[in-house]
């Protein structure tokens, strides 16, 4: 086994925190220099802008390595153009000549995965620049670094191709909805219209305030569906929370059952929906998570779900979004949204096609998980001198 020397990351490059820009410097008229926040890292672009002059110390360029200090620990190569570095985002730059930047990139992500795994039971995960600077990085000869990078890049390219195919499949459902029903904002097929509340046998928000607090959460029990669990068309089955059966009995009017549509009315996007799957036989929706139990004589869950996931529906509801710091759509306003309602047989046909596409997505997910496992195995072996 090779005995490569190790060095702290802080000796191999510069680790720099972002700057806490004052809120009055932010604007929405798309003028000035973009500011990178944690939420911008994964999508590779920023929508928050700074109207003042540049601060060269915090200017980020394409290709810079950035790490979000809260939530998911991952290193990103920035591709969003020239921008400014906001607080709780860390930048890595000024690499030592003895280190290949791509080798560092892969190595950091391997270490961050281990750090995140070791903080799995922490409610809110945080990193510090000191933790990053103290990461011990093995430093093999540059030729060996390049060999490792070539292997990892090849495996990563397979994951990217899989992701591209997955994105195409994900675009099928909105396209299918438009093809069968038309744009709901225009209603080109002149379907009759109803208020959204009329499509549901039950429309209910989750419990507010002291009825459901984080202190009520238990290691097991009845599942609580929170905003972070509601994705666009899918339940995000991570960051699980539960309450005891006894506490649930006091909140039973908020019970959610498989087939209910769960709507997130706060966050990004401001309107998104999924269907509670049969794997969760009973749940409770939290505040700002609206439950719609379809009226089977009027609408299917698949129709309601994908109606609410369309950008044009969000545009229709834009006048209902209130609040400056935490913009949300209240259940009462959402329930009054007027939407076109196609014939039930056509909705059922749509639901059948959704099931077929979901089956295809499940097959692709299996392939994606295998590729991810292969890549993580190679990554771990590479930085444990086993590759």
Using only C-alpha atoms, the chain has a radius of gyration, in whole angstroms, of 24
At which residue do the structure tokens 């990892």 appear?
152
Domain boundaries, the chain: 6-138, 140-169+343-387, 172-341
> Which range, of 68-77, 213-222, 246-255, 256-265, averages the lowest pLDDT?
68-77
Q: Give residues with Cβ within 8 angstroms of 203, minimum separation 6.
A: 196, 197, 290, 291, 292, 293, 331, 335
Rounded to an integer, the average pLDDT of 316-332 is 78
Across the range 25-29, mean pLDDT stands at 67
| Residues 41-87 pLDDT 10s | 888 888 777 766 666 778 888 888 999 988 788 899 998 888 888 88
The CATH superfamily holding the domain 172-341 is DNA methylase specificity domains (3.90.220.20)
What are the tokens at 169? 């499949």
Tens digits of per-residue pLDDT, 368-380?
Answer: 888 888 878 887 7
Q: Which CATH architecture has domain 6-138?
A: Alpha-Beta Complex (3.90)
- How many whole angstroms separate alpha carbon 354 and alpha carbon 172? 9
What separation in angstroms does the CA of 6 have from each of 118, 310, 364, 381?
21, 50, 39, 16
For the ranges 329-333, 342-346, 348-352, the lowest mean pLDDT is seen at 329-333
pLDDT in tens, 189-200: 999 999 999 999
Query: Tokens 């072996």 correspond to what residue?
Result: 381
Q: Of 331 and 300, which is predicted with more confidence?
A: 300
Residues 239 and 253: their CA atoms lie apart, in Å, by 24
On the question of a common fold for 6-138 and 172-341, the answer reads yes
3-state helix, strand, coil in the chain (%, to 5): 40, 20, 35
């Amino acid at each position: 086994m090779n005995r490569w020397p190790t060095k702290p990351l802080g000796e191999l490059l510069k680790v720099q925190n972002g700057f806490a820009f004052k809120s009055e410097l932010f604007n929405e008229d798309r003028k000035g220099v973009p500011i990178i926040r944690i939420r911008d890292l994964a999508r590779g672009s920023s929508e928050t802008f700074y109207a003042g002059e540049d601060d060269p110390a915090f200017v980020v360029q394409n290709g810079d390595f950035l790490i979000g200090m809260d939530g998911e620990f991952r290193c990103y190569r920035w591709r969003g153009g020239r921008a400014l570095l906001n607080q709780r985002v860390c930048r890595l730059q000024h690499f030592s000549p003895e280190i290949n930047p791509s080798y560092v990139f892969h190595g950091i992500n391997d270490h961050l995965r281990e750090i995140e795994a070791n903080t799995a039971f922490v409610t809110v995960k945080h990193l510090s620049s000191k933790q990053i600077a103290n990461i011990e990085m093995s430093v093999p000869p540059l030729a060996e670094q390049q060999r490792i990078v070539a292997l990892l890049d090849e495996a990563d390219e397979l994951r990217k191709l899989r992701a591209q195919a997955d994105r195409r499949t994900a675009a099928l459902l909105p396209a299918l909805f438009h093809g069968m029903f038309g744009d709901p904002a225009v209603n080109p097929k002149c379907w009759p219209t109803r208020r959204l509340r009329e499509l549901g046998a039950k429309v209910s928000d989750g419990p507010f305030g002291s009825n459901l607090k984080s202190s009520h959460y238990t290691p097991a029990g009845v599942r609580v569906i929170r905003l972070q669990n509601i994705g666009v068309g899918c339940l995000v089955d991570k960051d699980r929370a539960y309450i005891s059966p006894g506490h649930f009995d006091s909140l039973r009017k908020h019970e959610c059952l498989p087939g209910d549509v769960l709507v997130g009315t706060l966050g990004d996007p401001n309107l998104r929906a999924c269907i509670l799957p049969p794997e969760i036989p009973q749940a409770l929706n939290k505040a700002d998570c609206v439950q719609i139990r379809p009226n089977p004589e009027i609408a299917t869950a698949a129709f309601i779900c994908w109606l609410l996931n369309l950008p044009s529906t969000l545009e229709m509801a834009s006048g209902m979004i209130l609040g400056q710091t935490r913009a949300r759509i209240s259940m009462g306003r959402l329930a009054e949204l007027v939407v076109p309602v196609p014939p039930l047989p056509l909705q059922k046909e749509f639901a059948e096609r959704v099931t077929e596409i979901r089956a295809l997505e499940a097959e692709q997910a299996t392939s994606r998980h295998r590729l991810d496992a292969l890549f993580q195995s190679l990554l771990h072996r590479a930085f444990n001198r086993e590759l």
